Amino acid sequence: MYTSAFVLVISTCMGFGLGVQYTNDHLEDRTAETLATLLLASNPSNAAAKTRRGFVSQGMAAGLAAASALGGGMQGAQAGPFTREEIASLTYEQIKGTGLANTCPVVEAGAGAKASIPIGGLKRMTEFCLEPTFWAAIEDGKVDVSKIMTRQTYTLTGMEGTLTNEGGKLTFREEDGIDYAPSTIQRPSGERVPFLFTTKNLVAQAKTADSEIKPGFEMSGTFKVPSYRTGLFLDPKGRGMVTGYDQAQALPALQAGGDANLFAENNKVFDVLDGQLELKVTSVNAELGEIGGVFVQQQPSDTDMGGKKPTTLQMKGSWFATVQ
């Protein structure tokens, strides 16, 4: 009797597990189906045409190919397959909970649209958006492909700045926008690495003195990476940079010196380090002033306010912007 009961319990648990898995997959399918339905309702001809020609698959394939040209293929790319116009047609309630707010738009492909924008006369770049789809930690020459642990809040968006011609090359200077996102990745070893994904004070310049923005156009530059934590942060021992104690109170003997091994822990600093970003244009719509493509970014991780050495991180993904 006990054997029969045990088998019955195990069968029930297995069935429940399978049921949960099916439900999750079903919910993901329903989310995609809901978005497609909403877009179809807001713009029947455009949305239906993209659905018929496999717009999502083609867009992702193009992003993968372009990222490979920049020095490595993206893994698990999930760039948002919707245009700026389509996203703008949805309400907050329609977008909430779908993950669409954490994606960048794609350049709208119009019939007969010009695939180049003259650089002369351009003054600003707006709606600049970076959506990473690949994360890796680089240490001692080894690249650890990692996974993102942060929920759907790690995309940088709404950034803008000036466009100028410096030395015959187009130069972008970032000024404002949602230009930082506290994030965490997990390495294959299980170690979790926090970092501030950012492009603060980005100055990116064209690699060549081209007269127009077209597919293949590249820009690169540097930016600042502020501390992951602010000066008001207190560690578990109550130590901080501008508040709290200047050393762990459980170690009174250190008041007389001899705290060399704990100097970095007791003396918090607000590190501002450097990062590097490379952008490559793969799509242009001159009529709408839209440009987009793929990016590769390298920046340091969190230093725990000077308490540890930062890890070099690499991100790849898709980007979008409008120029005017």
Question: Taking the domains of the chain in order of start, what are their residue ranges?
Answer: 21-230+270-323
Residues 225, 299: contact at Cβ < 8 Å? yes
CA distance 158 to 156: 7
| Stated pTM of the model | 0.75
Q: In whole angstroms, what is the distance from residue 243 CA to residue 184 CA?
A: 25
Rounded CA-CA distance 162/173 in Å is: 5
Distance CA(105)–CA(182), nearest Å, equals 22
Task: Please report the DSSP string for 186-248 in residue order.
Answer: E-TTS-EEEEEEE-EEEEEEESS--SEE-TT-EEEEEEEE--SS-TT---TTSB-SSSSBSS-
Residue with tokens 């466009």: 163
11: which 2 tokens?
A: 């069968």
Residue-level pLDDT at 237: 82
Q: What is the pLDDT of residue 205?
A: 97
Q: What is the pLDDT along the chain (324 residues), one digit of tens a residue?
A: 444 444 444 444 444 343 333 333 433 444 545 555 555 444 444 443 343 333 333 433 333 344 444 433 343 333 347 999 999 999 999 999 899 999 999 999 876 667 899 998 899 999 999 999 999 999 998 999 999 999 999 999 999 999 999 989 999 999 999 999 999 999 999 999 999 999 999 999 999 999 999 999 999 999 999 999 988 898 888 888 888 877 766 656 555 556 677 788 888 899 999 999 999 999 999 999 999 999 999 999 999 999 899 999 999 999 999 999
Say which CATH superfamily domain 21-230+270-323 falls into.
Photosystem II, cytochrome c-550 precursor (2.40.160.30)
Cα-based torsion angle of the residue sequence 184, 188, 189, 195 in order, rounded to the nearest 10 degrees: -20
